[in-house]
Amino acid sequence: MTAPASSPVFPAEWATQSAVILAWPHPHSDWVARLELVEPAFAAIVAAIAARQIVILVCFDTTHRLHVERYLPGYDVNMANVRLYEANSNDTWVRDYGPLTVLTADKPHLLDFRFNGWGGKYSAELDDRVTQHLQEQNAFGNTAVTYASILLEGGSLDTDGAGTLLTTERCLLGPTRNPAMTKIDYERVFKTQLGIDRVFWIVNGELQGDDTDGHIDMLARFCNRTTIAYMSCDDSRDEHFATLQRMHDELLQLHDIDNQPYRLVPLPLPQAKYNDEGRRLPASYANFLIINGAVLVPTYADPNDAIALQNLQSCFPEREVIGIPCLRIIEQNGSLHCLTMQLPAGVIS
């Protein structure tokens, strides 16, 4: 009698990693007018990651790769941990077009879901093929890649690594992703493809300027199996007050895998940040990135930066919490976590 196949496991971000994927901004993207201003922020991210593990750095073409190779050493980057590859891309938001990793019998496998520029808001044909181009260049070693047919963005999902998933109704159930899919359809995919047993569908929570339709990685994140850090707002005059209060009330109703209420750790909303046209930007401390031995937290030259760093340090007492200036990055409506995708241990050597 044949033994049943092992169920997949969607590992938490705090699981040991082999690498993080990052795409460097290039002149063919929306960064073109801000390249000189934003490249130092990207260099700071690469330096922090490369001090601890491998960075897979996606460059647009050979000319772009040579520029990046010359640029990074000026920022004290451990270049021995930087692997550069060439792949045309529309933009740099790898979290949403990079591969998700699952483990089956402890063996990693990559899943590359479709990406349509957050419901067709932006061109994404090149982004949708980046994972394939990386695989063709052996960036993932011998790790297999499966190319899925449905649309799914990494920033819309957050897991505790033990079969529980946080996501938002507004994004996944919107008409511009997979309009024929219901909650039941998604949960079937999450079960079969990711090994997810419980899905928490968050209804409330929205940041002005976030054009992802409410990605969970801007709102609430697992820090361990019993702790959720979430964006909060105590100012009743702020336009986010009501929706973030309602999200908090939803989170209060959730229970961990031991049927205990989660420890909820508030992350204060930064003071309002605006672009040159006067549009409010989605500054979020929930958009942090966990790497080996550290947590990289976006900061915004804001009085609440210190509070967010302190609160997240309480969630990750065994890791170094490092602030990364991201004020220039949110000018393009995303932040640090949106730019990156981790690859768990075993994906590459």
Positions annotated as catalytic residues are: 338
Residue-wise pLDDT tens digits, 167-190: 999 999 999 999 999 999 999 999
DSSP string, 165-181: EEEEHHHHTSTTS-TT-
293 assigned to some structural domain: yes
Task: Report if residue 11 sits inside a domain.
Answer: no
Confidence of residue 2 (pLDDT cuts 50, 70, 90): very low
Does some domain include residue 113? yes
Residue 19 has pLDDT above 50, yes or no: yes
**Residue 7: inside a domain:** no
State the pLDDT confidence band at 5, using cuts at 50, 70 and 90. Answer: low
CA angle, residues 340, 46, 49, in degrees to nearest 5: 80
- Give per-residue pLDDT as tens, 76-97: 999 999 999 999 999 999 999 9
Q: How sure is the predictor about 1, in pLDDT bands with cuts at 50, 70 and 90?
A: very low
Domain that holds residue 199: 17-344
**In the chain, how many domains are there?**
1
Instruction: Provide the CATH number for the domain around residue 229.
Output: 3.75.10.10
Confidence band, pLDDT 50/70/90 cuts, at residue 72: very high
Percent of the chain with pLDDT over 70: 99
Nearest Cα residue to 288 out of 307, 265, 303, 309: 309
Rounded to whole angstroms, how far apart are CA atoms 45 and 21? 11
Hey, CA dihedral for 126, 127, 128, 133, is it positive or negative? positive
Q: Tell whether 136 is covered by a domain.
A: yes
Task: Determine, yes or no, domain membership for 349.
Answer: no
- The 10s digit of each residue's pLDDT in 297-348 is 999 999 999 999 999 999 999 999 999 999 999 999 999 999 999 999 999 9
Q: Rounded to 5 degrees, what angle do the CA atoms 64, 68, 72 make? A: 175
Annotate 51-107 with DSSP letters as a single string.
TTSEEEEEESSHHHHHHHHHHGGGGT--GGGEEEEE---S-S-HHHHSPEEEEETTE
Q: What is the pLDDT of residues 198-246, one digit of tens each?
A: 999 999 999 999 999 999 999 999 999 999 999 999 999 999 999 999 9
Nearest Cα residue to 347 out of 140, 123, 86: 140
On whether residue 143 sits in a domain, the answer given is: yes
What three-state secondary structure class fits 164? strand
**How is residue 198 written in tokens?**
């419980």
Choice among 1-10, 35-44, 134-143 with the minimum mean pLDDT: 1-10
At residue 223, what is the residue type?
C
168 pairs with which residues across the strands? 202
d(CA 295, CA 205): 23
Tokens 């593990």 locate to 53
- The verdict on residue 4 lying in a domain is no
Task: Assign 349 a pLDDT band (cuts: 50, 70, 90).
Answer: confident
Tokens of 58: 């996606």
The helix (H) or strand (E) run that includes residue 230 is: strand 227-232
pLDDT of 96-112, one tens digit each?
A: 999 999 999 999 999 99
Per-residue model confidence (pLDDT) at position 4: 45
- pLDDT of 3 > 80? The answer is no
